[in-house]
Amino acid sequence: MRTIRRLFSTLLVSLGLLFASLAIFVHLTQISLLQTGRLQSQASTLLQNQAVQSAIADSITTSLNEILPQGYYVPTASLDQAVASFSKNPTVIQEFASAMGQAQARLLGQSTKPIIIGGPQVSSIVASAIAPYSQQAATAIGSNGLTLTIPGANLPNISWYARHAATILTVTRDISLLLLAIALIISPSRKKVIKHISFWLMGMSFFGVFIFWFAPTYILPALDTSWSNFIAALLRISGAQIARFFALLFGSGVAGYIVSRLLPSI
């Protein structure tokens, strides 16, 4: 009978911690990915990122190919310098921020519009920035205008998840607490259950550091793509809030482990 209780409680703990992991994932997306205005608040930083600038330069090249004489092109190095110059313009930053707002609205299923920046003002700024390197390109932009797509900003639609995240969090959290409570009641060694949960809490805190600090700081930027930098920005945005959450998990894990060591065998 004792063996059956031990095996059953182990199974319940495993399932309980699985549901707890899901609840934590949902909570983290609520305080980062699903918070409106997150990408928009990082527009200026993203616009200065080399990979994002390179992606915008590619978009300019595509647009220029449609308005320049056949066989004419602007050298890549010159285009990169022009992008670095106009990306510091306040009007461009404002337009890019608006595009980031559209990108997050697309992510949350609130919009299906293409993510672009353009218009007479932006076209004029791009033309001025590119004029020192190619007057013909600047003239073509001034005459025809320019529309830039934002590569990497066409994020997937997760509107269903966004609408049901709060419900999913409540259900997974409550199931987790119920399973862990039953495991504690029926286990022949409650100290081991507490210790198991404590190690899980500490492990989750280290996992959080990897996902929300190490990955966006070292791994995603190394991929050198615009989409990886958008994701890195989203992960870093709620840094302080997420850091407090994982510090709480780690502290709870340490406290639980100490309790499991001090308690008599129960």
Residue 165 token pair: 């995240």
Average pLDDT over residues 218-233: 74
Joined together, the tokens standing for residue 116 give 């672009």
| Range in 50-54, 196-200, 202-206, 216-220 with the lowest mean pLDDT | 50-54
Residue 59 CB burial class (10 angstroms; 0-12, 13-18, ≥19) = buried
Locate the DSSP E strands across 84-228.
116-118, 147-149
CA of residue 134 relative to chain centroid, distance: 37
pLDDT computed for residue 154 by the predictor: 62
- What does the pLDDT look like over 38-48, one tens digit per residue? 777 777 877 77
Which of 201, 110, 222 lies closest to 160 in space, CA to CA?
110
CA 154 from centre of chain: 13
The reported pLDDT for the residue numbered 67 is 82
Which tens digits make up the pLDDT trace of 57-67?
888 888 887 88
Residue 134 gets the label, from left (phi > 0), alpha (psi -120 to 50) or beta, of: beta
Predicted local distance difference test score (pLDDT) of residue 227:
67
Residues linked to residue 148 through DSSP beta bridges, in sequence order: 117
Q: What is the mean pLDDT of the chain?
A: 83
Task: For residue 77, give both structure tokens.
Answer: 């190095």
pLDDT of 197 > 90? The answer is yes
Asked if residue 17 has pLDDT above 90, the reply is yes
187 pLDDT more than 80: yes
The contacts of residue 264 (CB under 8 Å, 6+ apart) are none
